[in-house]
Structure 1
Amino acid sequence: MQWRSTWLLWILLMLLPFFVSAEWLELSEEAESLFPSATRMKASSDHLPITEVYQLDQPIGYVFETDDLTDFPGFSGETINLRVGLDTEGRIVGLAVLRHHEPIFLHGLGEGALTDFIDQYQGLSLKQQVFVGSNQQRIASDKVTYFDGVTKATVSVLVVHDTILSAARKVAQTRLTGFGSATKARLNTELYTQKTLNELLLDGALLQWTLSDEQAAILFDRDLNLLRDARDDENNDWPFIDLSVAVLNSPTIGVNVLGEAEYLRIMEALAPGDIAVLVGSSGGYQLVADDFVRGSTPARFSLMQDGSPLVLRDSDLFHIAPPSFASPLLDFDQVYIFTFSDQSGFDPAEPITVGMRVQLKKNFLEFESVEAATQYVLPEHLLVAVEPPKPPLPLWQRLWIDRQLEIAILGVYLLALTAIFTFQHRLSAYGHYLHPVRWGALAFVVLFIGFYAQGQLSVVNIYTFLLSLWQGFDITVFLLDPILFVLWIYVFVSLFLWGRGLFCGWLCPFGAMQEAVAVLAEKLRIRQWQINETLHSRLIYLKYVILLVLVSTAFYSLSLAETMAEVEPFKTAVTLVFDRSIPFVAYAVLLLVLSARVHKAYCRYLCPLGAGLAVLGRFRLFSWLTRRKECGSPCRLCEKSCGIHAIAKSGEIDYNECIQCMECAVIITDKNRCVAERYGKRNRSVSKIKTVDVTG
């Protein structure tokens, strides 16, 4: 009856993982295709709706859906939702359309045209400026790239473009360095102060930038005649570059530059969230070339913040009414209003880099591109400070807070385990409680530590630690998983007290699974295979060879070492609860089935983690398990009862193989089972009899 209850518990044990969850998620096919070296992933622990992808404990990228981060309606009026992969260098590593309702692709050009368009973003750095479908003369530059548009689908592809870059930049700003941060201010669109043109120029609200031919030649380090050949106007009396730039959304700038009526017309024409920038040019090198198409992105002019381009679009607001200005001093050869979305991460409190890209003709066949830039800093009185968000706690601290209940439960178990091992000599006298306590502990290890808290230690953790020591130790990498951190600290200390056995016998989920299979096999009267003593003594060193190969490989190729670490069935059996492809599941199941014939065969002969722990366990301070002079000869009961085969015929315990199940500790204190006790009783009885006979 007792064994039936035990196995009912283990049936529940094997079913429960399908109803529990864990912080780490199964690596999806989409994430694996975007990041081939990924080993696991998890949802972001803050407000940002993204999935973080890891190689071991190192973040290597992020996967997100654009609908969670942006809201750009397409031609259909609905957003176009894409899945995007972004690596930790700010490069787009892959995209896929999840949902759209664009008629031109659904009922006209077909889905292939949309797929071909978004495929161009593969490998794009967010530091690059992108021109979509531009018919302008293409200026070669490392910072500029040109993508083919889709004929008859201009609106749709531009919405896709804005959606991709705005969503990716939001992720980059919150997760990566060098891409800006949370905005510190917003434009004050209610305050109006009447100012003259000179006053606007003096306080920086209006930028006026001039560059003579001579200054440009020095800046670009080019011959003066080469610069003059590049001019669009042959009048050398005009500056090479002469630009005026004004952010119009602020009434103090917009009304004073345009006049109230024109300002209101421009603002009403903008889409919600659009920032309008007026740019006027009177220089010899014009703002846009003759082949510029209204409504597109300028190839020569750019605005950037924190090294990332703001996605400009010509608003084409002067196709009906010509530009008009409140001041007659504002007179330009070219005037355009460019817009970009505030969803792009624009921060008016940060300097805006205004750039002009100049194409110089080296000879009849070759051209080269050079760039000039200046800073446009809006005055503080035109801004409204945005209350900065409270600096978030470091990620590792947030993770510890989120998992404090799990940590507390684990802590209670570890305290209990410490008490058991500390007082094992006294507790072994109550041997009839050993099996219930042990089975309860192993059930807890599999259910809570393994399936729920994902606390299965792995040889991969050893890679991480050794590589960290080699490349520069950073403890925060290890603090990102509080359960693993607590377990590793505890196991490390315990190695120097009791050796390898405490982890392998009381904290390893897969080891507990094997033990369950072995007990079930015993109940079903499945006979164990007897491993030849000589063969056993050689096979136990196999796990050390595996450990050495894996650790050596990690220093050569971490990805290869991770692949080879699949010799551990832990990810399949514990982390993913057998929800994996057939070869991995078959391997894990085979090892468990083998345990029915060879008790904990994987632990004894193959486990590189156990080998690594045994190496440190050699430096333990104590050999706690009691031995007597009768152990081995004449008594061999402990040896026969040791399923792990860690007791030699001489009665000595091999602590490098022992899993501290305490079976031998109970036997040696049991007066009814220990042969040494029975021999002792017999000798004492014989001694008494002889004493009586002599007296008589």
Structure 2
Amino acid sequence: MRWRSTVFLWLLLILLPFIVSAESWLEVSDDAATIFPRATRMKASSDTLPVTEIYQLDQPIGYLFETDDLTDFPGFSGDSINLRVGLDTEGRIIGLSLLGHHEPIFLHGLGEKPLVDFIDQYGGLSLKQQVLVGSDQQRIASDDIVYFDGVTKATVSVMVVHDTIMAAARKVAQARLTGFGTAVQARFNTNAFQPQTLKQLTDAGLLYHWQLSNEDAASALGVNVSRLEKARDPEQPDSTPFIDLTLVVLNPPLVGKNVLGEVEYQRVMDSLAPSEIAILVGSRGAYHFVADDFVAGTTPARFSLRQQDSPLSLRDADLFHLQHAGFALPLAPFERVNIFTFSDQSGFDPSLPISVGMTVQLVKNHLESEHVFVDSLYSLPDDVLVAVTPPEPPLPLWLRIWKDRLAEIVIVAVYLTLLTGVFMFQHRLARFSRYLTPVRLVSLVFVTAFIGFYAQGQLSVVNIYTLLLSVWNGFDIRVFLLDPILFVLWTYVFISLFLWGRGLFCGWLCPFGAMQELVAVVAEKCRLRQWKVSEVIHQRLIYLKYGVLLVLVGTAFFQLSLAETMAEVEPFKTAVTLMFERTWPFVLYAVLLLLVSARVHKAYCRYLCPLGAGLAVIGRFRLFSWLTRRSECGSPCRLCEKHCGIHAIRKEGHIDYNECVQCLECLAIVSDEHRCVANKYGKNRTSRRAAPIQVEPLNAAASKAESVVVVVSSHKTQG
């Protein structure tokens, strides 16, 4: 039994590191393996940043995160678009996948493939690159600018996707990678040059000299002077400073040409990549910035440069492997000279201080040693810098969209202004009733073609319960500003509801309603007679749309995606937004509704439309009921009722404003003395009053009786 305990104890000791690390190290998930094929393990972030760190053995190779954990850009539906993004250690997006969204145009319109294809374009994108989505301007051949195709009819959604991806990836890069900090405030002045002496350059701070004696170095390192002895170059006398280092930033001609001479300066600059910065480092102290075994072309282990706590990725330019360093100025003779380079894309800002550091190896005993870091700050003088105008903060997404669609907004605003004038002065304009039909036809075509097909300004019941959910969960106006046309229309409709009721929108602004009326006009030209819906059936069917509205709004509070699916009772997306480019069941449904409207005037608007029902509820609080009515309307005259295609005029002659689309046809009839039957009755009354009554009495009694009959008959006609 004792040997079993011993074996168990040994197994426990062997497995202990794995047990301890089990809480942090995780098995590579399928999603991580798809984006990072080289991944062998991963772990959750050790701080509050919600990312998963991906490793190949012990080497970090990237980060995996969800955009919802880092950003909150509301899409067209009011909810964010969530993606899984993989970012490598160079700041490149190497993989993306769509996790969830509620964008109606993709869920119930175009399908998700266009959205997925758009997102896939970001694979391989560097965060240093500028992205132009769907740009029609002349394309510039540049590695710093890339052009991505947008998605027609889904501009808002793809712009939200773009902002979501870039904002989330930059947050991770700024927290985990170097070179993704604040914007650079200055750059090197590569034009200014004038001859300078060594003293002038030194006094101006253009040459950085860092020197530490044994005592200063021991104090900076926090050790005894005796411990530095084994670290010193044994060939150097004791009086030699421990660190004696000179650093020169070569890129500015004012420094580089004066130090190296024009020919050597040009040789160095020609060897650099466009974004590289060259640093000359020379040493003659007792502890050099590179060890004796340093390999040319590699990164130094002892010497480092840092800025804002981020290391600059130094690499030896290997420019002195064939020739010795030569200087135009009498610099001190260096025992070690190297030119290191790094990229300005690492986030280097020449206007900020540079931490010049040395890592010193101190021997403890013959078996072990320790490394101690010491640094000093160096700031470049303004003589070699040019201030960079800080970039203007990017405009909010909604404002960019408004600027891009300014022309559409202006055209719609002009139409709304004219429409307001028609409704405000409808009684004065009634005298021109003969122009109502052509004006109405022009309006219907404009609403269908421009507001509907071109500007995509079809309001929907989805907008209503998006508003209710927004108020319920915390109102955010950005959700509604993302589509300026819908915002302008909704604002106008909301105000008009309290003035004239639902009729202004349903009769003059709804693209699908306009399409139904145009179909009815064509049917009339083809001599297709309208079917008359009986009063009893009509009065029952008009309440159906209110039931549809209640079901949709109630469902939205419990399951938004289901409510969006049920909102397909509206044919707007198929007929207007997608212009019938959809699968056949949706197209068939929309076409059937239009065909029915050829026989039953605006049947969908009257009996099914939940949007019209919602507007009718608010429209009950209207201020004006301006459509003219007369005492003769309904009895004996019923001409307006017979001409009302929407069946909104009751037999008694009054108008049901909850159903009326305010086509103004009844106003045109009442105001036309040639068409209004009430006017004919009035004329008959007038002529009868004016005409003399000639009666040839047979006797006095008969004459009296005849008079009574005439008076009674005249009284009945006036009634």
The normalised TM-score by structure 2 is: 0.58
Q: Secondary structure in 1 aligned to 2:231? A: coil
Q: 1:128 aligns with which of 170, 173, 176?
A: 173
Cα distance in 1 between the residues matched to 2:302 and 2:171? 17
Structure 1 counterpart of 2:620: 618
Query: Which residue identity does 2:450 align to in structure 1?
Result: F
* Alignment equivalent of 1:266, drawn from 262, 265, 268: 268
C-alpha distance in structure 2 between counterparts of 1:564 and 1:439, whole Å:
32
Instruction: State the secondary structure of the residue aligned to 1:434.
Output: helix
Residue 91 of structure 1 contacts residue 126 of structure 1 at CA under 8 Å; is this kept in 2? no
User: 1:337 matched to which residue of 2?
Assistant: 340
2:538 pairs with one of 512, 533, 555: 533
Task: Report what 1:41 is aligned to.
Answer: none
Do the aligned partners of residues 424 and 390 (structure 1) sit closer, same or farther apart at CA in structure 2, a change above 3 Å counting?
same
- State the alpha-carbon separation in 2 of the partners of residues 633 and 287 from structure 1: 109
Paired AA for residue 605 in structure 2: C
Corresponding residue number in structure 2 for 1:600: 602
Pairing partner for 2:116 from 2, 20, 33 = 33
Q: Distance in 2 between matches of 1:241 and 1:336?
A: 18
- Between the aligned partners of 2:324 and 2:410, the Cα distance in structure 1 is 71
Q: Number of matched residues?
A: 551
1:461-480 matched pairs, under 5 angstroms: none
Unmatched 5+ residue regions in structure 2? 1-104, 122-129, 151-157, 234-239, 361-371, 695-705, 711-719
Pick the aligned partner of 1:443 from 442, 445, 450.
445
For residue 501 of structure 1, what is the aligned residue in structure 2?
503
- Contact conserved, 2:133 with 2:149, CA < 8 A, in 1? no
- Measured at CA, do residues 382 and 621 of structure 1 come closer, stay the same or move farther in structure 2, by a change above 3 Å? same
Q: CA deviation at 1:439?
A: 0.4
Give the SS at the match of 1:516: helix
The answer for the alignment partner of 1:378 in structure 2 is 380
2:427 aligns with: 425
SS at match of 1:496: helix
Given the alignment of the two structures, is residue 235 of structure 1 paired with residue 248 of structure 2, yes or no? no
Q: Distance in 2 between matches of 1:335 and 1:312?
A: 11
Q: Deviations over 1:532-558 (max 9, x none)?
A: 2354133120353256247636xx86x
| Contact 1:667–1:673, Cα closer than 8 Å, also in 2 | yes
- Decide whether the 8 Å contact of 1:528 with 1:596 is kept in 2: no
* Structure 1 pair 420–90 and aligned structure 2 pair: CA distance change class (3 A): closer
Q: 1:510 aligns with which of 484, 495, 512?
A: 512
- One-letter amino acid matched to 2:266: L
The amino acid of 2:497's aligned partner reads: L
CA deviation profile, 1:402-429 (whole Å, cap 9, x unmatched) = 7665555444433332222122234334
Q: Are residues 27 and 428 of structure 1, via their aligned partners in 2, closer, same or farther at CA, if it must alter by over 3 Å? A: same
Q: CA deviation at 1:660?
A: 0.8
Q: Distance in 2 between matches of 1:278 and 1:81?
A: 39
1:198-237 equivalent positions in 2, closer than 5 A? 200=202, 203=205, 206=208, 235=231
Of 513-522 and 29-38, more deviation after overlay is shown by 29-38
Q: Retained in 2: the 8 A contact 1:526–1:597?
A: yes
Over residues 2-43 of structure 1, what are the superposed CA-to-partner deviations in whole Å (9 max), with x where a residue is unaligned?
A: xxxxxxxxxxxxxxxxxxxxxx999897861167799xxxxx
Residues 376/575 of structure 1: CA separation in 2 closer, same or farther (3 Å cut): farther
8 Å contact kept, 1:546–1:606: no
- Alpha-carbon distance, 1:694 to partner: 2.2
1:515 deviates by 1.5
Is 1:71 matched up with 2:74?
A: no
Letter of the aligned partner of 1:50 in structure 2? L
Q: Which residue of 2 aligns with 1:143?
A: 176
Q: Offset at 1:496? A: 1.8
Structure 1 residue 179: deviation in Å?
Answer: 4.8
Structure 1: state its 5+ residue gaps: 1-23, 39-47, 53-62, 73-78, 94-122, 130-141, 146-164, 170-177, 218-223, 226-230, 359-369
In 2, the alpha carbon distance for the partners of 1:593 and 1:209 equals 92
> Are 1:50 and 2:132 counterparts?
yes
Q: Tell me the distance in 2 between the aligned counterparts of 1:534 and 1:213.
A: 98
1:645-684 pair list within 5 angstroms: 645-671=647-673, 673-674=675-676, 676-677=678-679
Counterpart residue type for residue 71 of structure 1? D
Give the deviation of 1:70 after TM superposition.
3.1
User: Looking at both structures, which has the greater relative contact order when contacts are Cα pairs under 8 Å and sequence separation is at least 6?
Assistant: 1
- SS of the aligned residue for 2:500 comes to coil
Residues 304, 311 of structure 2: 8 Å contact kept: no
Map of 1:544 onto structure 2 = 549
Work out the CA distance in 1 between the residues paired with 2:377 and 2:302. 19
1:143 counterpart letter in structure 2: R
Offset of 1:589 from its aligned partner?
3.7
Instruction: Call closer, same or farther: CA 1:266–1:454 in 2, change over 3 Å.
Output: same
The residue that corresponds to 1:12 in the other structure is none
**1: CA distance, partners of 2:378 / 2:584:** 60
Task: Decide whether the 8 Å contact of 1:288 with 1:301 is kept in 2.
Answer: no
- From 273, 276, 279, the equivalent of 2:278 is 276
Q: What letter matches 1:32 in structure 2?
A: L
1:480-491 alignment, distance < 5 Å: 483-491=485-493
Q: How does 1:183-194 map to 2 (within 5 A)?
A: 185-192=187-194, 194=196
**Alpha-carbon displacement from aligned partner over 1:483-510 (angstroms, at most 9, x marks no partner):** 4454344333322211121122112222
Q: 1:434 & 1:299 partners in 2: Cα distance?
A: 88
Compute the displacement of 1:607 (Å): 4.0
**CA 1:392/1:694 → structure 2, altered by over 3 Å: closer, same or farther?**
same
Q: CA deviation at 1:311?
A: 7.6
For 1:610 and 1:353, how far apart are their aligned partners in 2? 68
8 Å contact from structure 1 (residues 128, 143) kept in 2: yes
**Distance (Å, rounded) in 2 between the aligned partners of 1:179 and 1:383:** 18
Quick one: which amino acid aligns to residue 552 of structure 1? F
Counterpart CA distance in 1 for 2:313 and 2:112 is 32
CA distance in 2, matches of 1:319, 1:88: 47
Moved more, 640-649 or 670-679: 670-679
TM-score, normalising length: structure 1? 0.60
Deviation at 1:647, TM superposition (A): 3.2
